[in-house]
Amino acid sequence: MLRLGIIGCGKIAVNHVKALRRIAGVEVVAVADVDRTRAEAFAREHDVPRAHANADAMLAAGLDAVTVCTPHRAHVDGVVTAARYGVHVLCEKPVAIDLVEADRMIAATARAGVLFGVLFQRRFWPAAARIRRAIDDGRLGEPICGGVLARFNRDAQYYAEPWRGRWDTEGGGVLMTQAIHHIDLLQWFMGPATRVTGRFANLAHQGVIDVEDTVSAVVEFASGGLATVQAGTSFQPGLGAQVWVSDARGHTASVMEFPEGIGFTDVWTVPGEEEFASAYRPGGTFDIPLATIHKYLVPYHTMQIEDFIDAIRTGREPAVTGREAVKSLEIIQAIYESSRTGRTVELTRTL
């Protein structure tokens, strides 16, 4: 029986405790939150034996692994603390709010000899995994072009949580919190990114947030492929997101997220396997509550957390390592830098 703890008792922690409860041989024995009252309420609601006011106290009691569900700024502290206690750690995305912190987390877990994974549960959508398999087996050639189109609706109520919409605590806006999932899929399909040119702006949430709500960018890849990123939280209603790639033969594959939390194949033009699906219908449901989005994602949280547990038991790397999670963060940081400087940014760092 593996003993697990959860650091951070906010909304996404509900998905973690539900996912962990679905996995055989795992026991959630403790939670921690800087707001002890919130930790105790979460523990009561989800029948967790212990609640702590900080991660140190929880980890000192003895655990095999933890998941980190804190606001973005606190990811680094949760991961580094887990490493200090020799505990395996799975962190929510983004891995960190900047590359320096991400490197610190990777170094700390490597020194401690513990596994470090990052949650990108949309990789576990069958529609997304299908594209990766098609590239691997050659049915879809190496992509030469692709794109992310992420059109979400986030209002002032969403940003009312004190840590949201701020550079110092969230690390960014639509790129860091919503579109990072789709940028992760894009680079998973396209391969290593090498150059980024981008612009960001706050056009619809002025006076509400400090960070970006509108982004356009071009990403170049080591293969020579090109892709575009268009993202925003200014759409009413929100129209979900699409990640697509196309090979040199003109074959295209696309995964659509609509409503949020649900991914499906909307375009597939591999010869003999053609599929087309429409996301939007008259009278359809738009802008579902955040709690419903999270509910839709529970099965995919479960699949990724189950993969992480299996990695602990077998000694292999998890599906998405900390190093892998840095790739999408590096693209996002390059978009910010390109916009601020007006220059194309070369992605030359290695981990």
Q: Tell me the pTM.
A: 0.97
Using alpha carbons only, what angle is made at residue 159 by residues 154 and 164, rounded to the nearest 5 degrees? 115
Q: What percent of the chain has pLDDT over 70?
A: 99
pLDDT of residue 102: 98
Q: What angle do CA 315, 321, 101 make, to 5 degrees?
A: 125
| pLDDT over threshold 60, residue 8 | yes
pLDDT at site 283: 82
274 pLDDT higher than 90: yes
Give the tens place of pLDDT for each residue, 169-184. 999 999 999 999 999 9
pLDDT at 181: 98
51-95 tens-digit pLDDT: 999 999 999 999 999 999 999 999 999 999 999 999 999 999 999
Query: Backbone phi, then psi, for 187, in 5-degree steps?
Result: -75, -25
Q: pLDDT-derived band of residue 127, with 50, 70 and 90 as boundaries?
A: very high
Q: Please tell me the distance from the alpha carbon of residue 291 to that of residue 125, in angstroms, as a whole number.
A: 19
Mean pLDDT along residues 24-38: 97
Mean pLDDT of 209-233: 98
Question: So what's the pLDDT on residue 348?
Answer: 85
What type of residue is 62? G
- What is the amino acid identity at position 87? V
Q: How many CA atoms lie within 13 A of 180 on its CB side?
A: 30
Instruction: Let me know: does 244 contact 146? Beta carbons within 8 Å.
Output: yes
Structural fold of domain 2-119+299-320: Rossmann fold (3.40.50)
Q: Say how many residues make up the chain.
A: 351
The pLDDT of residue 350 is: 58
Give me the residue spans of the domains in the chain: 2-119+299-320, 123-288+327-346
Contacts (Cβ under 8 Å, ≥6 apart) of 243: 128, 146, 147, 148, 182, 185, 186, 189, 254, 255
Q: Where are the beta strands (DSSP E) in the chain?
A: 2-7, 26-32, 50-52, 65-68, 88-92, 116-119, 143-151, 193-201, 214-221, 226-232, 240-247, 252-257, 263-268, 275-276, 345-346
Which residues does residue 2 pair with via DSSP β-bridges, in sequence order?
A: 26
- pLDDT in the model for residue 294: 96
The phi and psi torsions of 33 (rounded to 5 degrees) equal: -155, 145
pLDDT tens by residue, 330-340 = 999 999 999 99
Percent of the chain at pLDDT above 90? 97
Average pLDDT of span 135-142: 97
Q: What is the mean pLDDT of residues 25-41?
A: 97
The pLDDT value recorded for residue 351 is: 53
Residue 283 vs residue 131, higher pLDDT: 131
pLDDT of residue 189 exceeding 90: yes
Across 195-200, average pLDDT: 98
Whether residue 121 contacts residue 325, with contact meaning beta carbons closer than 8 Å, is answered with no
Give the CATH number of domain 123-288+327-346: 3.30.360.10
At 84 the pLDDT is 98
CA distance 152 to 300: 21
Give the pLDDT confidence of 48-58 residue by residue, as tens digits: 999 999 999 99
The pLDDT, as a whole number, for residue 282 is 84
Average pLDDT, the chain: 97
Q: Residue 288: pLDDT above 60? A: yes
Say how far apart CA 87 and CA 38 lie, in whole Å: 24
Residue 113 corresponds to which amino acid? G
Q: Return contacts of 129-135, CB within 8 angstroms, 24+ apart.
A: 130/253, 130/265, 131/189, 131/245, 131/253, 131/255, 132/188, 132/189, 134/253, 134/270, 135/189, 135/245
Answer yes or no: is pLDDT of 305 > 70: yes
